[in-house]
Amino acid sequence: MSVSSTTPASSAAADAEQQAIPKQRGRRKRVELSEGKKQERKLGWLLCAPAAIVMVAVTAYPILYSFWLSLQRYDLKFPDEREFVWFSNYVTVLTNGYWWTAFGVTMLITVVSVVVELVLGMGLAIIMHRTLVGRGLVRTSALIPYGIVTVVAAFSWRYAWTPGTGYLANLLAPDGAPLTERASALGIIILAEIWKTTPFMALLLMAGLALVPDDLLKAASMDGATWWQRFTKVMLPVMKPAILVALLFRTLDALRVFDNIYVLTNGANETSSVSMIAYNNLIKGLNLGIGSTMSVLIFLTVAIIAFVFVKLFGTAAPGSDEGKR
Amino acid sequence: MADIVLDKVTKKYPDGTTAVHEVDLEIADGEFIILVGPSGCGKSTTLNMIAGLEDISSGELRIGGQRVNEKQPKDRDIAMVFQSYALYPNMTVGENMAFPLRLAKMDKALIKQKVDEAARVLELTEYLDRKPANLSGGQRQRVAMGRAIVRSPKAFLMDEPLSNLDAKLRVQMRTQVSRLQKQLNTTTVYVTHDQTEAMTLGDRVVVMRGGYIQQLGDPQTLYDNPVNLFVAGFIGSPSMNFLAATVEESVLRTPLGDLPLGDRMRSALSGADAPRELIVGIRPEHFEDAALIEEHQRAKGFEFTMPVDLVESMGSDKYVYFTVEGERAAAADLEDLTADAGGADLPPQDNLVTRLSAESRVRDGVDARVWMNLDKIHLFDPRNGHNITLHEGKAAGVSAA
């Protein structure tokens, strides 16, 4: 065979070519198509390559390096005791109460803030979508919290809750110090998170609202749907992809919660998140081994959550099952 | 099933524009009525007001004798078919059709029975489990119809339901819609901008322009006896020819020649405020090759000779185009028509379109002798567009005694 047969498809093409059998037309057509497809795929790879190389350089290397560090006993305070210990750091972290407390706190903050943000964000999105007068003003004012640097916002919350001088502390807890008790401190952290990122959620959901054609809502009201039925049976299903994107972004974002805790409580009274204790071990404690182990674990958690969401996306987009039947 | 009565229904927007001006319309039970007009004429607004999707600024809307101005769309018991079909993308065809019934909390077995019945009528049975995204345009359109008919509502409202289909499918669906409406005998209000749909579908047609009803009547009446220039030009394809004309003594001077005026027209045009400048309107089919006219008919008409621009043979007949010299017919109504059609549907003003028998032997570039029927000529007053040849509601032609 003269043609270099890199794939079975191209050898089939060569066969068909040489024998020139007319009844093979269907087969040849498919082969021609796959030749074009191959070119297309090659071009695709070439176009992706620069971005892919940059991605690998800036993300894969740190990930692999921290994984490498996490397999070692490596404390900068005792540099001589550096040793390769396989997975014993993981055992240390995963059997440690502090880790699990922080994990629980992170999950609590994530779940509560994302759920509340979703509900509030949806309300805000509908208001922004529907407003006819002063639309620009409404949108701008709704988005202000998101425009403020998190640390700055966190400081303003801290001052507001400082006993004696803070207006919120004076108003709501004149006798206590809310930031020094675990439950109220967590509440304030969650509140600060929600205040800060609800506008972001609203923005993403508003993009989803724009996907719902007016005719669809009109049709639903002609079909006898109440406002609530139109919302739950027509709007939400059509918006599902946008909602999932918003949830994914916010969940991953909330999992990394750091600034608010750092400023408001600095992790006191068991209010640390996983990012906080990873930071404390890695940067403050100079324990590169344990710190890296924690960051690898956080990475895995994020990966699992992202995977689950992406799986959900698969069937989310309306009409995405096109061609399967 | 119910009658629908619009009593001086008006739609005024907050910015002061009035989309619909005091529309009076009585739609009988089981009637198929068409609202037709160019875009922006208020037909869709009127439909949305009947549906309850738009508030009524003033006037009263009664369905089945009951005032429904303040009722929510869902409480009016009417179904609507949208131009975009508005199918729920997350539901299958069956679920789409069952949606209104499910909202009405109907028994599950009964829902299934009704959906199956509607699917059978619309030939959708094999698609019940598909999502709308996997259907063709015609199938989607049928699903939208199905969703409307399963409920057996008091009335159907259809907002340009066939506009998104290709030309061939549109003709097929047109007959299907018509047959379905006859079969169900449910009051139907149908909005379209396509005069062919209006002519072929409706029991009665309402021609609207700028928020006003121009004329209301059965399709043939609109065609034969248009009350004004706008209706005359809007209904019919190819549309009516319009020529500028002046009244001179006892004749009407037109670019085609001097037409004799009958006694009735002469007295109508002799008044002090009678217009001197007129617009002559004549439909393409009221011309004929003079060689094919029988003797007894010849007297009823007027003959002229002109060079032929172009002959289009349609098989059944021939469209023959002439160029008319002289002044163009000008009136506000005509400008509206041209603006609406974008010049596409309407022949250029210096073009005369005639429809002659297929046996005619006229050829491109050769002079042709053409006969036109004087009984079928309309005269319009260019100042207000009124048809002044109408006599007791009937077009009487120019030479009537």
Residue A238 within any structural domain of the chain: yes
Measured in angstroms, the CA of B26 and the nearest CA of chain A are apart by: 22
ipTM of the complex: 0.81
| CATH number of the domain where residue B341 is located | 2.40.50.140
Q: Is A244 on the interface with B (CB under 8 A)?
A: no
| Predicted confidence (pLDDT) at residue B249 exceeds the cutoff of 80 | no
Same domain, B42 and B91: yes
Which residues of chain B does A220 touch, with a Cβ-Cβ cutoff of 8 Å?
A: 88, 99
Residues B154 and B242 in one domain: no
- The residue type found at B125 is T
For the ranges A80-94, A260-274, B30-44, the one whose mean pLDDT is highest: B30-44
How far is it, in rounded angstroms, from Cα A121 to Cα A114? 10
Position A108 in a domain: yes
Please give, rounded to a whole number of angstroms, the shortest distance from the CA of B252 to a CA of chain A.
Answer: 53
Same-domain status, B177 and B322: no
Across the interface, whether the CB atoms of A224 and B74 are under 8 A apart is answered yes
Mind telling me how many Å the CA of B115 is from chain A's nearest CA?
Answer: 14
**A13 and A127 co-located in one domain:** no
Query: Per the CB < 8 Å rule, is B86 touching A213?
Result: yes
| Residue B132: inside a domain | yes
Closest partner CB to B100 (pick from A215, A224, A318): A224
Q: pLDDT, tens digit, for every residue of A35-54?
A: 888 888 899 999 999 998 99
Residues A38 and A133 in one domain: no
Show which of B191, B224, B257 is a domain's final residue.
B224
**Chain position carrying tokens 């248009």:** B226
Q: What is the structure's pLDDT at A245?
A: 85
Same domain, A237 and A295: yes
Distances (CA, A) of A109 to A25, A307, B17, B204: 62, 21, 52, 65
pLDDT tens column, B256-293: 888 888 877 777 777 777 788 888 899 999 999 988 88
**A154 is a domain residue:** yes
Name chain A contacts of B134, Cβ cutoff 8 Å: 319, 321-322, 325
Number of structural domains, chain B?
Answer: 2
The Cα–Cα gap between B328 and A180 comes to 90
The answer to whether the Cβ–Cβ distance between A222 and B78 falls below 8 Å is: yes
CATH code for the domain of B170: 3.40.50.300
Single residue among B224, B249, B284 that ends a domain in this structure: B224
Look at residue A82 and tell me if it is in a domain: no
**B150 at A interface, C-beta within 8 A:** no
Residue at B232 is within a domain: no
pLDDT given at position B401: 58
In a domain, A322, yes or no: no
Identify the domain containing residue A289 by its residue range: 88-313
* Angle at alpha carbon of residue B328, lines to B327 and B331, rounded to 5°: 130
Give the total number of structural domains in chain A: 2
One domain for residues B23 and B144: yes
Kindly determine whether residue A222 and residue B53, on different chains, have CB atoms separated by under 8 Å. Answer: yes
- Percent of chain A topping pLDDT 70: 86
Residue A43 shares a structural domain with residue A121: no
**Residues spanned by the domain of B39:** 4-224
Looking at the fold, whether B15 and B157 belong to one and the same domain comes out as yes
Match 């379209």 to its residue by tokens.
B192
Residues 73..112 of B with a Cβ closer than 8 Å to A: which?
73-74, 78-80, 82-84, 86, 88-91, 99-100, 103-104
Q: Does A233 lie at the interface with B, CB-CB under 8 angstroms?
A: yes
Ranking A78-82, A279-283, B32-36, B199-203 by mean pLDDT, the lowest is: A78-82
Asked whether residue B344 carries a pLDDT value surpassing 70, the answer given is no
Is some CB atom of chain B closer than 8 A to the CB atom of A322? yes
* B198 & B253 share domain: no
B219 and B327 both lie in a single domain: no
Same domain, A51 and A100: no
Whether A254 has its CB under 8 Å from any CB of chain B: the answer is: no
Q: Which of A211, A216, A223, A232 to mutate to test the interface with B (most CBs of B within 10 A)?
A: A223
Query: Across all residues in chain B, what is the average pLDDT?
Result: 87
pLDDT at residue A323 tops 60? no
**pLDDT value at residue A7:** 41
> Is A80 part of any domain?
no
User: pLDDT at position B188, please?
Assistant: 93
- pTM score, whole prediction: 0.77
Choosing from B224, B247, B281, the residue where a domain stops is: B224
Q: Which of residues 114-143 of B touch A (CB under 8 A)?
A: 130-134
Same domain, B253 and B111: no
Closest CA of chain B from A122, distance in Å: 20
Considering the domain architecture, whether residues B211 and B299 belong to the same structural domain is answered as no
Minimum-distance CB partner of A219 among B80, B133, B134 = B80
